[in-house]
């Protein structure tokens, strides 16, 4: 088995410390995992499904590369070389698809894309902003959370407002904790009291939004407004 499988100018795959790992410009970056899912042949719901859609299906599970070595599939024991080639082919396919983040799990695609852009990959630089915008429009909870965690520093006002309109409460919680901008004013009127409580707690929340929350029906929201206001006066 080759010790290193070159993917492109910046990326290669290596078996590192007992796991398949992607290296970027010779630095270990991220380890890989398999998505294991049972599907029915010809299932029409799979036609346009992203990897993240598949991961959300009942029964889906994730295995690290080291966990699959030795498993027997159709009478064939999976080897370390099989695992390496499987991961490498997935990443190569993602590259050939122009870094389309639907082709990989978001928790792998966005950190990779951001790092490739940072080290100077011209295609990554071109597509990163568009991939962020397009995936946020889809309002997939896990994808949105990954984007906030990995690319929060790249989000503009429009991105944050899009996230603040998410149908997923967990996403709006995350936005309330992390956004530095006008999305907080929108979330001050959120239907979920926990979201409003976080907005009241956030020291970046603008004065007019805090004034609105000072009259909130939820006592804990009003308590956070009082605490926040007292801190700003110190």
Which runs of consecutive H residues, i.e. helices, occur in 154-217?
Answer: 157-164, 169-178, 183-187, 193-201, 207-213
CA dist 80 and 70 (Å) reads 8
What's residue 60's pLDDT? 40
> Which of the pair, 61 or 159, is modelled with greater confidence?
159
How much is the mean pLDDT over the chain?
A: 83
CA dist 27 and 126 (Å) reads 23
pLDDT at 138 over 80: yes
CA dist 166 and 172 (Å) reads 6
| 134 contact partners, CB below 8 Å, separation of at least 6 | none
CA dist 160 and 229 (Å) reads 24
Per domain, the residue ranges of the chain are 171-234
| 49-63, 83-97, 112-126, 193-207: least confidently modelled range | 49-63
**Local structure of 197: helix, strand or coil:** helix
Average pLDDT score over residue span 1-30: 84
What's residue 46's pLDDT? 45
Whether 37 contacts 60, CB under 8 Å: yes
* Both tokens assigned to 153: 């520093």
Give the confidence band of 18 by pLDDT, cuts at 50, 70, 90: confident
pLDDT at 85 over 60: yes
What's residue 47's pLDDT? 45
Average pLDDT score over residue span 146-171: 96
> Which of the pair, 13 or 181, is modelled with greater confidence?
13
pLDDT at 179 over 70: yes
What's residue 32's pLDDT? 52
pLDDT at 226 over 50: yes
| 20 contact partners, CB below 8 Å, separation of at least 6 | 13, 14, 31, 32, 65, 83, 84, 87
> Which of the pair, 93 or 161, is modelled with greater confidence?
161
What's residue 38's pLDDT? 42
Average pLDDT score over residue span 27-50: 54
Average pLDDT score over residue span 50-68: 48
Query: Which pLDDT tens digit goes with each residue over 87-126?
Result: 888 888 889 999 999 888 888 899 999 999 999 999 999 9
* Both tokens assigned to 80: 């370390």
Give the confidence band of 76 by pLDDT, cuts at 50, 70, 90: low
CA 115 to chain CA mean position, Å: 14
What's residue 86's pLDDT? 76
**Closest CA relative to residue 95, chosen from 74, 134, 121, 56:** 121
């Amino acid at each position: 088995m080759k010790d290193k499988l070159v993917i492109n100018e910046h990326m290669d795959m290596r078996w590192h410390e007992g796991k398949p790992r992607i290296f970027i410009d010779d630095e270990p970056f991220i380890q890989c995992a398999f998505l294991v899912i049972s599907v029915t042949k010809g299932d029409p719901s799979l036609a346009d499904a992203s990897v993240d859609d598949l991961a959300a299906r009942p029964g889906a599970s994730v295995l690290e590369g080291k966990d699959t070595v030795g498993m027997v599939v159709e009478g064939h024991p999976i080897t370390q070389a099989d695992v390496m080639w499987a991961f490498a082919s997935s990443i190569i396919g993602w590259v050939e698809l122009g870094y389309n983040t639907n082709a990989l799990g978001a928790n792998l695609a966005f950190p990779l894309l951001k790092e490739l852009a940072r080290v100077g990959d011209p295609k990554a630089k071109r597509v990163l902003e568009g991939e962020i915008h397009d995936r946020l429009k889809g309002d997939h909870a896990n994808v949105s959370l990954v984007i906030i965690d990995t690319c929060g520093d790249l989000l503009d006002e429009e991105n944050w407002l899009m996230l603040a309109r998410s149908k997923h409460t967990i996403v709006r919680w995350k936005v309330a904790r992390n956004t530095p901008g006008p999305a907080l004013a929108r979330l001050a009127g959120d239907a979920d009291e926990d979201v409003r409580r976080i907005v009241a707690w956030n020291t970046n929340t603008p004065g007019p939004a805090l004034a609105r929350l000072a009259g909130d029906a939820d006592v804990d929201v009003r308590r956070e407004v009082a605490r926040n206001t007292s801190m700003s006066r110190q």
